[in-house]
Amino acid sequence: MPDGLDRDEQATGGRVGGQHAGAGDLLHLVRSGRATTRGALQQATGLSRATVGQRLDRLFRAGWLREGAGGAPDRAGSPLGGRPAVRLEFDDAHAVVLAADLETRHARTALLGLTGEIVAEHAGPLAIEEGPDAVLGELGVRFAELLGKADRAPESVCGIGLAVPGPVDSETGRVVQPPIMPGWDGYDIRGRLRRAFAERTGGPAGIPVLVDNDANLMAYGEQRAAYPQCSAFALVKVSTGIGAGVVVDGAVYRGIDGGAGDIGHIRVPEGAEALCKCGSYGCLAAVASGRAVARRLTDAGVPAASGADVRRLLEAGNPDATGFAREAGRHVGEVLATVVTLLNPGVLMIAGDLAGTPFLTGVRELLYQRALPRSTAHLEVVTSRLGERAALIGAGTLVVEHLYAPRRAEERLAALGV
């Protein structure tokens, strides 16, 4: 089964309604809340009662739907009128999802339910510079530990989501020229992670694996959890590096080959002499990322090596860290003035290690000074709601939306023989 995301399917949930609606379409209507009784499904699709029953029977046999408590009278579906309707619900207990969020020197892994709740999780050191073979192999070990901790069988896992700190071609799941991921360019991440999962857990070898940029998945998780009605949502992650994720009409906007949102490599005048990890001079990340602030702190006699170190110093109230973080926020705010003018988002979220008051103050100073008032009139500038779990929840949500989208659901039902 291919793992590449269908852009139209992610944005719209696939085809819905009509005389040709299949079981996958009915599932989408139930999961979205648009039709949760047999009568409502008949109205939404125009299918006969018998045909709706046949489609639903496939979903019941697969364990994907269950009957809940009765709701309001289902006049459309009952020839007698007024009979209490049986509410149809997505059965979120039939499977789980594994997710991992890779940072430069640290990784978080989690086992999630199909509605995004975290069942078990682990966080610990893992250096991305060790290379894909070693890192993905270690993720297999951690996945096995999570399944054991939660007492879940490997066969209950329906998919794996992975967040990485680099641009990703969503069709192939491979990172493309990642500045801070040496040895990962073009690597078959999906294939290696599948093998690691199967070898360490004894689970199925062909499990679906989705890979995306960490800022994209953070944006997706945050938007779905706290701002589902926001049609244009932007998140900027400022940690060791700088990246952005954009969600438009409920779908992640990735650009042509996964390069959208890479604002850390926009050139800024203040960085003309600063060498970036990408090999160029003048990138925003070279003057305003956690790594850049850590370097300035070290030069000032306050040892720091990463965005995480800067965060700890900010939490401790270090005055140098506070001043440098605010200055970094001003640099980022100047770039975001252009981003906001271009996208006109309803929510701009600042996340990552530097997403505290000093940095946010700096962002707001330059953003509102440089952006057109029309662009910021209805803009909310906020900080993360999900914190360090945002990318994990986003990865898990992306896997579920992918696997239970109408077309993919039909393929999976056929493979199950129901």
> So what's the pLDDT on residue 20?
83
Q: What is the mean pLDDT of residues 163-168?
A: 94
Q: Which region among 18-22, 103-107, 262-266 has the lowest average model confidence (pLDDT)?
A: 18-22
Residue 130's contacts (CB-CB under 8 Å, 6 or more residues apart) are none
> Does one domain contain both 249 and 336?
yes
187 and 267, same domain (yes or no): no
pLDDT tens, position by position, 263-305: 999 999 887 888 898 889 999 999 999 999 999 999 999 999 9
What are the CA-CA distances from residue 90 to residues 18, 60, 414 (Å)? 21, 10, 19
pLDDT-above-70 percentage for the chain? 93
Yes or no: say if 95 and 87 are a contact pair by the CB < 8 Å rule: no
Asked if residue 267 and residue 183 are part of one domain, the reply reads no
Q: Are 187 and 175 in contact (CB under 8 A)?
A: yes
111 touches 102 (CB < 8 A): no
391 pLDDT more than 90 = yes
Mean pLDDT, rounded, of the chain: 92
| Structural domain contains residue 357 | yes
Tens of pLDDT, residues 222-236: 999 999 999 999 999
pLDDT of residue 74: 55
Q: How many helices (H) and strands (E) does the chain have?
A: 15, 14
Measured CA to CA, the distance from residue 276 to residue 271 in angstroms comes to 9
Average confidence (pLDDT) over 231-246: 95
Instruction: Give pLDDT, residue 331.
Output: 96
Is residue 330 within 8 A of residue 323, CB to CB? The reply is no
Look at strands 251-252 and 242-248 and give their pairing: antiparallel
Residue 1 lies in a domain: no
**Are both 192 and 249 inside the same structural domain?**
no
What is the average pLDDT across 396-417? 96
Predicted confidence at residue 266, as pLDDT, reads 94
Q: Which residue in this structure is represented by tokens 């009509």? A: 18
Q: How confident is the model at residue 11 (pLDDT cuts 50, 70, 90)?
A: very low
Least confident among 207-221, 250-264, 310-324, 397-411:
250-264
Would you say residue 15 has pLDDT above 80? Answer: no
161 and 231: one domain? no
Q: Which of 33, 30, 74, 76 is nearest to 56 (CA)?
A: 30
> Which among 173, 207, 241 is the end of a domain?
207
Residues 151 and 19 in one domain: no
**Considering its fold, how many domains does the chain have in total?**
3
Give domain status of residue 396, yes or no.
Answer: no
In which band, very low, low, confident or very high, does the pLDDT at 8 lie, cut at 50, 70 and 90?
very low
* 54-62 long-range contacts, CB within 8 A, separation 24+: 55/21, 55/22, 55/23, 55/26, 56/23, 56/26, 56/88, 58/23, 58/413, 58/418, 59/23, 59/26, 59/27, 59/413, 61/418, 62/94, 62/412, 62/413, 62/416, 62/418
295's tokens: 């370097």
Residue 265 lies in a domain: yes
361 membership: H or E segment, kind and range: helix 357-370
* Boundary of a domain, candidates 90, 112, 131: 90
Given a contact cutoff of 8 angstroms between Cβ atoms, the answer to whether 288 and 305 are in contact is no
| Residue 407 within a domain | no
Say whether both 269 and 356 belong to one domain: yes
Assess if residue 134 is contained within a domain. Answer: yes
* Shared-domain flag, residues 177 and 290: no
250 and 183 within one domain = no
Nearest to 207 by CA among 191, 219, 220, 218: 191
Q: Note down the domain range covering 375.
A: 221-385
Residues 85 and 100 in one domain: no
Query: Cα(73)–Cα(56) distance, rounded to whole angstroms?
Result: 20
Cα three-residue angle 219-223-228, rounded to 5 degrees: 160
Residue 228 buriedness (CB in 10 A; 0-12 / 13-18 / 19+): exposed
CA distance 50 to 125: 55
Whether 50 has a pLDDT exceeding 70, the answer reads: yes
* Gap between the Cα atoms of 170 and 5, Å rounded: 6
Answer yes or no: is pLDDT of 6 > 80.
no
Does a structural domain hold residue 399?
Answer: no
pTM of the model: 0.91
Place of tokens 């991921």: 181
Residues 79 and 119 in one domain: no
How confident is the model over 320-366, as pLDDT tens digits? Answer: 999 999 999 999 999 999 999 999 999 999 999 999 999 999 999 99
How far is the C-alpha of 110 from the C-alpha of 394, rounded, in Å? 12
CATH number of residue 42's parent domain:
1.10.10
The CATH number assigned to the domain holding 288 equals: 3.30.420.40
Going by pLDDT thresholds of 50, 70 and 90, the confidence category of residue 5 is low
- What pLDDT is attached to residue 3? 77
Residue 392 placed within a domain: no
Let me know whether 115 and 14 are in one domain: no
